[in-house]
Structure 1
C-alpha cells in the first residue's frame, strides 16, 4: 500500500514538473554566450553547449557563405567538414525534442554573424547528448570553417529521474516498515 502510494506520488510529481515547465514559461532568461567563433583565426572549432547557452559564429558575408545556405532550417549531421546543402537534413526532423532551437540574429548586429541558441531555461532539452556541425564556406577558396557542436543531456530529464529515484527509495523504505 505504501509502495503504491509512493509510486503514485512520484508519477504525479514527474508529470506535474513537465506540465509546469511546458506551460509556465512566463519567466525567461537571456541566453549565455559561451564562445565567439571567428573563421579568420582558425577553420576548425568545437563548442559544448548546455541548456540556454549559445555561441556566435562570425562569418563576414563578403567572404563566407553559411553551410548549408538555409542554415536557420537545417544543420549538418555528424562531425567533419563534408557538409553541404544537399546532404544536410532538417534538425526538427532529426532532433524532434529540439523544436525550440533556431539560428537567431543577435539584436543590434549585422547579417555577418549568426547565433545558434539552445532553448530557454525550463524548456526540455535533449533526452540524450547530440553532436552536429555547422559552418561557413569561403566564397573564393572553397575552404570550410566548421564548428562541431556537442549538446549535453537536458537537465529537466535528470531532475525527473532524480524525483522518480527518490520516490522509489521512499517506497522501498516504507515497504520495509
Structure 2
C-alpha cells in the first residue's frame, strides 16, 4: 500500500468517526447535550469540544502548523479540564464551529504533509516525542473513536437513541421488546455468574 492510499484510508476513517460523534448531538435539547451523565462529568458537547482541541493540537500545532485560535486551556486562569465541558456562555454552535474549524485545519495538515513528516509532542516521553504524521493520525483516530464510543453510551443514557450512523444503526434488534428480552438475558447471565463466584 502506498502512502497516498494509506493517508486516504486514515482520513476516511477519521471523517466517519467525526460524523458519528456529531450526529449524537442531533435532536437533543441544550441541557441534554451539556449535562454530565457520568460521575466524572462526561457530557456530549464536552466531548466535541475536547476533540476539537485534540485535532487542533496533534494535527496542527504538533506538526508545526499552529491552529490560529487560542485553546480553552491557554488562559492562565483556566479551570482543569476546561476542554471537556461547555460553559453557559459557549453556545452549542460555538463548539460545533470550533470543531469544524479544527477538523478543517487538521485535514489541511494531512493533505499538505507526507505521512513520514516529523512532529514534536513536548508532553510525550522523550523516546516518543518526535512521531510522524502517520503515527499522529493513528493516535487522533484512536482518540476520536474512543470518545465517539463514550458519546454512543451517553446518547443512549440521555434519550435511548442508539446506533452507529444516522442511516444505519448497525444493531441486530430493532424494537423495544427485542432489547428488553436481550437486557433480561444479559442480566440473568450476570446474576448466574455472580452466584457461582
More strand by share: 1
TM-score (normalised: structure 2):
0.24
TM-score (normalised: structure 1):
0.26
Higher Cα Rg, which structure: 1
